[in-house]
Amino acid sequence: MNKTRIANKLNSYRTTDWDALLDRYLHYVKTERSYSSHTLTSYGNDLQQFYLFLDQQYGLAKISPDQITRQKLRSFLAYLKKNDFLSSTINRKIACLKSFFKFLSVHKLISHNPATGLFFLKTEQKIPFILNYDQIKQALASIDSSTVLGARDSAILELFYGAGIRLSELADLKIKNIDFVNNLIKVSGKGSKERLVPLGEVAKQALKNYLSMRDELLQKTIVKNVEDVFLNKYGKRLSTRGIQRRVAKYLHLVATTGTNPHSLRHAFATHLLDEGADLIAVKELLGHSSLSTTQIYTHVSTERLRKIYKQAHPRADKAD
């Protein structure tokens, strides 16, 4: 259902109690749990959709939070499945409901937690599309690094591929967090967890080249932004959407799929493993909290090795 329609419908029946609980919860996960703005938006929309479902089924004004049962939550999930929501989307909504009702339970706002018995749906683990090294080199070669915007775009692609950082981490990168002496950058990842990432020589030179021209952009605005590394053509902080557009522009020249910043992060991890890097080390470089998240890249490397074997070995596909 369209998010605007959900919001408009909600405004017609919201009650003070439910509205206050939503506000308290979102404030808590923002200030105490340091959830990202993207997660906050998603969870807010998920809970609004849940509110709308309750209103349609029971009347939101007629039901209290303490009257929500596990069966009512399962009815909501069945409704989502019936309306062809993806399993991954439903799992995010389950995570949201678990978090929300745990918050209510811990703060004694409900007498029982109906979400404790909810289980996540099984999802097929998709192997990400991986750009090969030649494609990445071609994309980088297409950038005119003699201009300030070209130098900026070159530094962006080099950092994504050379450091494997996330889109949000690159957008939030500050000048003070670049250490050219020790070839390190400090990034703030999910949950505001900071980590140090090695800065390779090629990415380092691309970054230095951009920073040497960056003042051209600062001169285009009255309010000087000296903190954020990457600026737009008006001298203001380059948005995540702006970064996505810049990356897609160059990757579209060499590939029809995998033309987003995350594809370069995928390539970073996979190419490291292809060259024999330790899985634990790659996990730390990516900033993953769980090794299972990193292990998907081992499947990619295995598939590539299998393909090379079939192409190169004379006895791979046939027996004597």
Residues marked active site are found at 166, 190, 262, 265, 288, 297
Concatenating the DSSP letter of every residue in 221-268 gives: -SS---SBS-B-TTSSBPPHHHHHHHHHHHHTTT-SS--SHHHHHHHH
Burial class (CB in 10 A: 0-12, 13-18, 19+), 98: middle
Concatenating the DSSP letter of every residue in 100-139 gives: HHHHHHHTTSSSS-TTTT--PPP---PPPP---HHHHHHH
Residue with tokens 């105490």: 32
| CB 296 within 8 Å of CB 125 | yes
d(CA 244, CA 264): 12
| For helices 37-57 and 16-31, angle between their N-to-C axes, nearest 10 degrees | 160
Task: Count the neighbouring beta carbons within 10 Å of the beta carbon of residue 56.
Answer: 11
Indicate the length of the chain as a whole number.
320
